[in-house]
Amino acid sequence: MKAIFLGPPGAGKGTQAAILAKKLRLAHLATGDMLRSAVKEGTELGRKADGLMRAGKLVPDELVIEMLLARLAAKDCERGVVLDGFPRNVAQAEALEKAGFVPDVVLNFSVDDEVLIERIAGRLVCSQCAATFHRKFRPPNRPGVCDQCGGETLYTRKDDTEEAVRVRLEVFHKEEDRLVEFYRHRKLLREFDADQAPEVVTQHAERLLKEVMS
């Protein structure tokens, strides 16, 4: 199973990709998480990506494509993968296709911008396992502590400021139509309303994935 989760920042792609990849025993590849690790480790890629990410802009295609294709070659991707945050534009989608990666399905998470801004504004991320929480909608059981791994390191992403979020949404919408069209044309696109309770979205997305897997 090769699935791509498309959608704006804050649509719940990451949360759902983590849940469903675990359930269906697929690898969860989130380019945002991979880039944040590179920034933390201070690698050359991380140094190049840091400022762009803080500003809410995209990291250059060639860097992200190289990073993602190298990760896709790892053993744990053999059973199947969920791509979360990649591709972000048609050039990245074409690079994937050229590398022989043709998805079985592309799930398009759609949510209105105003809802996204509210969701992102309260988002908390675990710096150890990348699980996400929300101050209001999904608070951790113990303040500041990750429910998943017990780490005491929940933080607010540097690009979750209102200013960066607006840039990220603008960048997303600029590429969205062409990217959606790219997969619709290939009859791979499944759209659904992601402005629902997380459990409802999980059920819906799982049903769509299983339909394709069977």
- The residues of the shown chain that bind ligand AMP, judged by CB under 6 A, are 9, 31-32, 35, 52-53, 56-59, 64, 85-86, 88, 92, 159, 168
Active-site choice (2, 36, 157, 190): 157
Report residue 83: phi and psi, to 5°.
Answer: -90, 130
DSSP symbols for 77-125: GSS-EEEES---SHHHHHHHHHTT---SEEEEEE--HHHHHHHHHTEEE
**Cβ distance to ligand AMP smaller for residue 169 or 201:** 169
The residue whose two tokens read 């429910």 is: 147
Closest distance between ligand AMP and the C-beta of residue 31, in Å?
Answer: 3
Closest distance between ligand AMP and the C-beta of residue 57, in Å?
Answer: 6
**Cβ distance to ligand AMP smaller for residue 138 or 142:** 138
**Cβ distance to ligand AMP smaller for residue 56 or 103:** 56
Active-site choice (2, 119, 168, 190): 168
Q: Are strands 81-84 and 2-6 parallel, antiparallel or unpaired?
A: parallel
Active-site choice (2, 36, 119, 123): 123
The Cα–Cα gap between 181 and 111 comes to 18
Active-site annotation holds for 119: no
Closest distance between ligand AMP and the C-beta of residue 125, in Å?
Answer: 9
Active-site annotation holds for 54: no
The Cα–Cα gap between 185 and 118 comes to 32
The Cα–Cα gap between 164 and 184 comes to 29
Closest distance between ligand AMP and the C-beta of residue 53, in Å?
Answer: 4
**Cβ distance to ligand AMP smaller for residue 58 or 205:** 58
Active-site annotation holds for 207: no
Q: At a CB cut-off of 8 Å and minimum separation 6, what does 122 contact?
A: 134, 135, 136, 137
Name the residues annotated as catalytic. 13, 88, 123, 157, 168
